[in-house]
Amino acid sequence: MRSLTLPRRAAILGGAAMLAAPHIARAQTVDIKVSLSAPYDGSAAPYFNAIEKGYYSEVGLRPSFDTSGGAVESVGRVGSGAYDFGICDINVLMDFAAKNPAQSPSCVYMLYYRSPLCVISFKKAGITKPADMAGKTFGDAVTDGAYRLFPAFCKQTGLDPNAVKWKFVDLRLRESLLLRGEVDGILGFDSTSYFNLLKAGAKAEDISFIYYSDIGLPLYSNSLIASRKMIDINPDLVRRFLTATSRGWQATIADPAGAIAALQKKESLIDVKLEIDRLTWVIQKQAVTAESRASGLGAIDPARLANSIQIVKDGFDLPAAPPASLVFNPSFLPSMDVRKILI
């Protein structure tokens, strides 16, 4: 039998390697669980955009993104170890960290630089300032970050929390209470409740907002959190997840419509135009700010975080503030080239 020439042998070995490569890649791929803090809507598009573009597979990850009933449920899932990562309002995380320091997740990447927390009502209710809320009934989910932070809202504004009545429902039913006139207003994220109201037929000009940020609570908001197990045992996986996710956010900010097309493959019945509008709202009002442009997505201002921790401690009447090092861990942030805002 004639021996193989060097070029021919190289070609055969190269072909064998190419055939084996997919099996190697599959063997190295890690399944991870990620908890969203809301149903599938435009705000979740960056993650499905990252899946569609192959950013997670490139770093050997296969994430599943599950909906939840709000920030409290999301942080609880990650804190228990049932989920590896989550999207959670960092202020709700602070409360969890103060009460459960040993098992608390940490924020590893900031997403929303302006808080979308607000009081939403129809203008006919006459709720234009916090004092107008006294004697009125409001709807929310017990697990929602807006409700959990309402004590801080009251402390900041002087509103008596006992003067406000509540009707609690599942997060997905909150807007229906307002539409049916069963409550005078609701609490929540503007990007969630506003667009859900529009989808149900409400008119934009009839809707009124009181933002937590406008009454003196300059809080950060949604962030990516990682479980203690991920942080302590698999820090490289955390870095890979954040790198792929950051690339997904970069691509989404540059092309929101393309990101919604990726989301539609997961949730085929979405209203495409409305979800593009919702995602654009999130990008323009929460994600892209002077701070995120200067520091890149994911990073935080330590002084602002310290102020937020104090606000949450006082508002939640916590016995002690959680340490900033537990709340936010910057050591996993990707390089600036995948965090900078490109538009």
pLDDT digits (tens, 9 = 90+) for 118-133: 999 999 999 999 999 9
Delimit the domains of the chain by residue range. Answer: 30-113+220-338, 117-215
What pLDDT, on a 0 to 100 scale, did the predictor assign at position 171? 82
What's 322's DSSP letter?
A: P
| 3-state helix, strand and coil shares in percent for the chain, rounded to the nearest 5 | 55, 15, 30
Q: Which two tokens stand for residue 11?
A: 């070609």
pLDDT digits (tens, 9 = 90+) for 35-58: 999 889 999 999 999 999 999 999
pLDDT band at 137 (very low <50, low <70, confident <90, very high): very high
Contacting residues for 141 by C-beta, under 8 A, at least 6 apart: 69, 70, 147, 168, 169, 170, 171, 174
Homologous superfamily (CATH) for 30-113+220-338: Periplasmic binding protein-like II (3.40.190.10)
What pLDDT, on a 0 to 100 scale, did the predictor assign at position 154? 94
pLDDT over 70 (residue 321):
yes
pLDDT digits (tens, 9 = 90+) for 153-191: 999 999 999 999 999 998 889 999 999 999 999 999 999
Cβ neighbour number for residue 206 with a 10 Å cutoff: 11
pLDDT over 90 (residue 10):
no
What pLDDT, on a 0 to 100 scale, did the predictor assign at position 13? 30
Instruction: Give dist(CA 173, CA 225) in Å, integer.
Output: 26
pLDDT digits (tens, 9 = 90+) for 181-240: 999 999 999 999 999 999 999 999 999 999 999 999 999 999 999 999 999 999 999 999
pLDDT over 50 (residue 15):
no
> Which own/partner pairs from 338-341 qualify as long-range (CB within 8 Å, at least 24 positions apart)?
338/243, 338/246, 338/247, 338/250, 339/246, 339/250, 339/296, 339/297, 339/298, 339/299, 340/250, 340/296, 340/297, 341/250, 341/253, 341/288, 341/292, 341/293, 341/296, 341/297
Cβ neighbour number for residue 154 with a 10 Å cutoff: 18
| Annotation: CATH topology of 117-215 | D-Maltodextrin-Binding Protein; domain 2 (3.40.190)
Are 30-113+220-338 and 117-215 the same fold in CATH? Answer: yes
Instruction: Give dist(CA 308, CA 110) in Å, integer.
Output: 14
What pLDDT, on a 0 to 100 scale, did the predictor assign at position 143? 77
With a pLDDT cut of 70, the percent of the chain lying above it is 92
What pLDDT, on a 0 to 100 scale, did the predictor assign at position 4? 38
